[in-house]
Amino acid sequence: MRIADYEKHIQSETSARRYLLKFCWKNHQRFCPRCRQRRNYPLTDGRRRCAQCAYTYHDFTGRWINNCDLKSREWLRLIKLFELDLTVLAMTKEMDLAYNTVYKAITTIRCAIAANAIDARDFFGSERSIELKTSGRVLTVKPCSNLTTPVFGVIEHSGLAFVDLVPGLHPETVFHFHQNFGLRLGHWGKTYFSAPYQRYHALLFCSPQPPPRFMEFALSPETGETTKTPEFLGYLLGKIRRYRGLSPEKFPLYVKELEARYNNRDQDIFELSASLLCRFVPKFA
């Protein structure tokens, strides 16, 4: 987004809210988030009540942006800093907000991006790493001790990158391939990656457990393979090295964010993020 346009949108809380609302209601036609009925009547506090089911709601009810209790201008400023790919610590220094508030808001943006992926059901849901509440306010992250650590396959084709959850693979399986079949591995902190495996350019996962003693890391933590490394894999590993304190339960959010950034590298990340943030929180069984 151009700076001139951005400054116009954040001139006031009204202009910022107007910009966000254009992503919420098509043709300004409001409807009940619960029953989808259009008939409603306004209340004195600015909310609306559905004429059919009597559900009381406001413009952001049930949407990702309803998380964190931030004002519209604060959201736009955070989206701009997110577009610039700053760390949460750097964002905190730019805004008069607590670190935990900024971290929660950026996690919400990452959730909105990840929920838009075609394989979102693989890591969202009551039995997955992140349980979503359709109020848009609660994002329950389960302890990694109760989860099966996901292993992702990284592949790039015709300029598009895909980070797929590989079914049936666990970190122990990858370590087994390393010990018995010579699959080369590398790591950076808790993040592990492999040499090409089947159709994937690399396997990738985050594990809280220390590696077995027999591990020999032969791959560079900067680029993976020393030759013929796909552009996205080098980009992915380079970005992951910036993160501190990665956890297996939130690892899918980071890789899906990087997948989206890479695949939309010629698009307006600001508008894309705002659009996804204004969507309803989906229901995953």
List the chain domain ranges.
3-24+59-138+272-277, 149-248
Instruction: Give residue 240's Cα distance to chain centre.
Output: 14
Question: Distance between CA 260 and CA 243 in Å, rounded?
Answer: 17
Rounded to an integer, what distance in angstroms lies between the CA atom of residue 62 and that of residue 217? Answer: 45
Residue-by-residue DSSP string for 88-148? HHHHHHHSSS-HHHHHHHHHHHHHHHHHTSTTGGGTBSTTSSEEE-TTSS-EEEPPGGGSP
Question: Which pLDDT band, with edges at 50, 70 and 90, does 226 fall under?
Answer: very low
Question: How many Cα atoms sit within 13 Å of 44 on the Cβ side?
Answer: 0
Work out the average pLDDT over 103-112. Answer: 93
pTM over 0.75: yes
Q: What is the pLDDT of residue 28?
A: 82
Q: Give the chain's length.
A: 285
- What are the structure tokens assigned to 229, written together? 């490394």
Q: Which of 7-21, 23-37, 116-130, 227-241 has the lowest mean pLDDT?
A: 116-130
Mean pLDDT of 83-98: 93
Residue 20, pLDDT above cutoff 60: yes
Distance in angstroms between the alpha carbons of the first and the last residue of the chain:
36
Q: Taking Cα atoms as reference points, which of 145, 164, 144, 166 lies closest to residue 154?
A: 164
Distance, in Å, from the CA atom of 56 to the CA atom of 202, rounded to the nearest integer, reads: 48
Question: Looking at this protein, which amino acid is placed at residue 16?
Answer: A
pLDDT, residue 125, reads 65
Identify the H or E element spanning 73. helix 72-83
| Residue spans of alpha helices (H) in 153-230 | 171-181
Q: What pLDDT, on a 0 to 100 scale, did the predictor assign at position 181?
A: 87
What CA–CA distance (Å, rounded) separates 50 from 231?
50
Rg, C-alpha atoms of the chain: 21
For residue 208, the tally of other CB atoms under 10 A from its CB is 14
Q: How confident is the model at residue 138 (pLDDT cuts 50, 70, 90)?
A: very low
CA 124 – CA 56 distance, rounded (Å)? 27
What is the rounded distance in angstroms from the CA atom of residue 108 to the CA atom of residue 85? Answer: 15
Residue in 63, 60, 61, 68 with CA at minimum distance from that of residue 105: 68
CA 5/CA 128 separation, integer angstroms: 39
Residue 233, classed as helix, strand or coil, is: helix
